[in-house]
Structure 1
């Protein structure tokens, strides 16, 4: 029996996902060695990302309704609310706890990721848009579970900021797992009759979003900034 579309996509990106789940940024969150500045940078960029993510989910909800998938449309819109309210509530709590100012611009990989998913959702068929957003759900759940396992292995002797534990608890928790499983089911149902050409395009979107997920944590670890042009360079231009 052929694998479900989502299983196919996951298997195609398996090597990249295996590397991502061991990303130094994520491991350092669990073992308590991650400096607070990269974490602050990350949560600000993630909040910016989530705004675009919720917009994309709502647009997919509109497209699903237009194509007769009313039940799926309702659930996807609920997931958009979850991204805007529940996930960003976590971020707002961390902002308050760590004294973070919420005003910031999107950094390079944030803009790259949001621009890519917005383009796919806005310009491609609804199935492709759904698949483009799938790694954000699925990889966060996957790494959240892996981080919970590592935290249990390390035990209570490891000290880490409570904000790190709050993040791990959110994305490794049962509520988020239910959301992810619902989204996977929606993708499989909408994609079930897709032909090989369409599935290949969707697989490409899935892999690209997996790459961008990894790069999102690279960016935080490196505290990536936009290049600045000096006065001398401006004169030379």
Structure 2
């Protein structure tokens, strides 16, 4: 098993609560209310801005050009991902300026600042373990929601979102993230550090589940 698989196996309950959350299941079967998806998507745009900062922090924390390039690639992927949010929100009449001006929900703040704190207080391995449930998890979810490929989704209401994370470009992003996590672990993972890294991964997975729940709750609000 690679490091990501080991972390996932060490936090099975937190991982399952994240990837099998009712928001994900309803998104997959097309029954998720549009209001819930819209609430999630707007907050996820703000979320990604903070994750871009996390990759900038990764560049600052880097000691090798290889790590700096990995941070640069991660930052570029995040910025590319925001284009999906801008495009989808524009269909509801929500422009980029309005997106950026939307207040962050407490759930958004809790998750993103947790990741940034992991990076500020720790090293690159701490930071990338905190990032992994999101970066790799979305590829896992995307593949699970499109087991027969994106074309088979036909007129699914959330086909474009699912296709973004089930597609080969994003799966390549996730694969690079897993490989980089292995490279960092080869340099600095010790047996004594492992429980703390598992705790970080579990906490980030719980915060991901909370983020889905925020979308459901906001979508149910009048």
Does TM, scored on the shorter chain, surpass 0.5?
A: yes
Number of the residue aligned with 2:109: 111
* Among 184, 193, 197, the residue aligned to 1:190: 184
Work out the CA distance in 1 between the residues paired with 2:169 and 2:27.
Answer: 21
Q: 5+ residue gaps in structure 2?
A: none
**Partners in 2 of 1:28 and 1:37 — Cα distance?**
13
The Cα shift of 1:173 comes to: 0.9
- Residue from 199, 206, 209 that aligns with 1:214: 209
Contact 2:57/2:119 (8 A) holds in 1: yes
Query: Is 1:58–2:53 an aligned residue pair?
Result: no
Query: Could you tell me whether the CA contact under 8 Å between 2:26 and 2:32 is conserved in 1?
Result: yes
Whether the aligned pair in 2 keeps the contact of 1:110 and 1:216 (CA below 8 Å) is yes
Inter-CA distance 115–123: structure 2 relative to 1 (3 Å threshold): same
Paired position in structure 2 for 1:73: 68
- How many residues were matched structurally? 214
- After superposition, the CA RMSD in angstroms is 2.1
8 Å contact kept, 1:63–1:126: yes
Give 3-state SS (helix, strand or coil) of 1:207's partner: helix
Specify whether residues 155 and 195 from structure 1 end up closer, same or farther in structure 2 by C-alpha distance, changes over 3 A only: closer
Give 1:150 shift: 7.9
Unaligned runs of 5+ in 1: 226-237
Tell me the residue number matched to 1:93: 87
The aligned counterpart of 1:123 is: 121
Q: Confirm or deny: 8 A CA contact 2:36 2:217 kept in the other structure.
A: yes
User: Is the aligned partner of 1:144 residue 2:122?
Assistant: no
Greater Rg, structure 1 or structure 2? 1
Larger RCO, structure (CA 8 Å, separation 6 or more): 2
Which of the residues 10, 14, 19 maps onto 1:12?
A: 10
Pick closer, same or farther for the CA change 1:31–1:151 going to 2, 3 Å.
farther
Runs of 4+ in 1 over 4 A off after TM superposition: none
Moved more, 215-224 or 16-25: 16-25
User: Structure 1 residue 200 and structure 2 residue 198: aligned?
Assistant: no
The 5 A counterparts of 1:136-175 are 136-149=134-147, 156=154, 160-161=156-157, 164-175=158-169
Normalising to structure 1: TM-score of the pair? Answer: 0.83
Residue equivalent to 1:40: 38
